[in-house]
Structure 1
């Protein structure tokens, strides 16, 4: 009984400390009170299928689990292979197609018919508001921020720390022409020094015509927040990029939901889907997919080749670091889905055959 009381007391003290710290970490959303969306109610964004709030008892149990459950195999026991990318390598790529580089976690570098685009760029050592604690990288990015070419567009899926990195944005703002962000996220970018006229905000299903084709912001089943007092004050979602010749889909973060089929029916088929496959758990099954659900999402989207993302860079759950890869390979083989698993930094074109390297397995 004493041990239980001690643990509960420590949790309460820790919770108070985190609450005080987070008072200064909340997002700074732009004014969105006038938005006309069925998914914006009482100053909060909502999923298409409303989530059931987690009772305090379950929230406390989850916190206790994080403190007491022993993690096994959540960090790599091998050196993660990373192919170094230089600006010269990128500039040597042709301008007549779409090239893709997986930088780590969900960070993607694209060369879209000569233009350089970044999706959810996180270059910091930790996916955290702090530089001394929080999930730390397993590997360095294939290219540094200083080595990047001028960026035409940065696309952000939502404002969680493993997708919206303040330190990266503050460096990118001087070399980036445009930022495409969900409604409300512009408030943070402006507070970090990005000029408002560089930012375009998107609601679900909103499209923007660019010189390279159509960009659309599409729904996911997730949530937003950078502290304890700003939950769902900004929008979250996924990205569709359709050029005259090819199309790709970037999932951001999501639980499995009927929206994938809606997106596939409206914008599919996709030459490549980049689908979240990692950081799943029964305790948050409605906001992150299992690998099996990720494969089903790809099928719903009418994808031709699937590249699993949101894995291999940070420890964000209780499963082993390689479990997402092992399970998505097994499920893709069972469902006859074409899977591409490039190494970080490995450059490929959207028309290339799928890369089938199992680089996460020890030799």
Structure 2
């Protein structure tokens, strides 16, 4: 069976070479952009590096074996057998005075602060793969489209993996987005897809962008990687600190646990809210994705008062049951120094209401 799988991998690689010119694969930085990339202290020996180097795969793990186990081996409860519950909130009817957030599943979210709109890592194509047969969204989770969105002041892209930078969604957003804020090099994808340069802000770790009227965005470190085809590490992965006149919010992007959470908490905290990556983890790739116990610890180190776990309940990209991340983080969050918020997909989160109740909606889903 492993031989058959290896043959399939070779076939996919050959197919990838044949389709390498497809625009959805994006583009590595060229010419002037590459000069900016190479000037970053985080770009060394031909690629971006994490602050603390760790192997992407845990010692003793084989990437071919792990890919086979993840995508070809039967995993109990890997996907829900019925549609997940959701709520369709009218995003175009927000009171401009209301600070609120709506989670779309996985790591995608819409947010309004001080009347300004933010869209984070939107994936609205129903898939998290470049291949037509690839990973698909669970039933009931793909209820929002780009047409449901109002104009977006700031589109925030944490990194260029397919489950965070979705080609089809980005194309449809082109005329709705005023500014894109992302890591160094990622703008090459956007220009390749027809976005003008004056809409793109590419930043390094520690860069602050002040947009006036109390709105600012800081790009900070995460322990992860990047790449859409074969040459990885050419586009920087980031986390975000989003600040308005009233509150401060942290979004992890993707990344494994390390001391950077405590350092970010000391430098920028406390945070009113934190959106924390919690899902698609595995012992085999522990360095690049947090496990739920690490998410709970990192949230405290960030000094966050409220936390929303993301990166779960839409796509199966790991070997755990679909409900395991939200179940485990609920247990690990008991008696912590933060409040856990667990909205359904589409449910309005009132960012100025620390007492808003949320249901354990996943418990009633088979």
Distance change >3 Å, CA 57–CA 115, structure 1 → 2: closer
After superposition, the Cα gap between the structure-2 partners of 1:4 and 1:77, relative to the gap in structure 1 and judged at 3 Å, is closer
1:1-363 to structure 2, matched below 5 A, reads: 5-6=3-4, 8-18=6-16, 20-22=18-20, 24=22, 25=25, 27-30=27-30, 31-34=33-36, 35-52=38-55, 54=57, 58-66=62-70, 68-90=72-94, 93-95=95-97, 97-130=98-131, 132-138=132-138, 139-211=140-212, 212-228=214-230, 230-335=231-336, 337-352=338-353, 353-362=355-364
Distance 1:53 1:303, change over 3 A: closer
CA distance in 2, matches of 1:6, 1:63: 13
Give the secondary structure class of the aligned counterpart of 2:34.
Answer: coil
Separation (CA, whole Å) in 1 of partners of 2:189 and 2:4: 39
Deviations 1:167-201 (A, max 9, x none): 11111111111111110000000111111101111
Instruction: Provide, for residues 92-149 of structure 1, a one-character-per-residue CA deviation record: whole Å limited to 9, x for no partner.
Output: x242x5211111211110111112110111111111123x221111134443211321
Q: 2:92·2:149 contact (CA, 8 Å) conserved in 1?
A: no
- For residues 292 and 141 of structure 2, the distance between their equivalents in structure 1, rounded to whole angstroms, comes to 25
User: SS state of the match for residue 364, structure 2?
Assistant: coil
Of 232-241 and 46-55, deviating more is 46-55
User: 1:26 and 1:200, CA in 2 relative to 1: closer, same or farther beyond 3 A?
Assistant: closer
CA distance in 2, matches of 1:11, 1:171: 31
Moved more, 205-214 or 339-348: 205-214
What is the alpha-carbon distance in structure 2 between the residues aligned to residue 147 and residue 324 of structure 1? Answer: 28
Q: Is the 8 A contact 1:208 1:215 kept in 2?
A: yes
Q: Calculate the TM-score normalised by the size of structure 1.
A: 0.91
Q: Could you tell which deviates more after superposition, 242-251 or 12-21?
A: 12-21
Structure 1's 277 and 170: CA in aligned 2 closer, same or farther, altered over 3 A?
same
Question: In 1, are the aligned partners of 2:56 and 2:288 still within 8 Å (CA)?
Answer: no
RMSD of equivalent CA atoms:
2.2
Assess if the C-alpha contact under 8 Å between 1:104 and 1:344 holds in 2: yes
Aligned residues: 356
Relative to 1, partners in 2 of residues 1:28 and 1:76: Cα closer, same or farther, differing over 3 Å? same
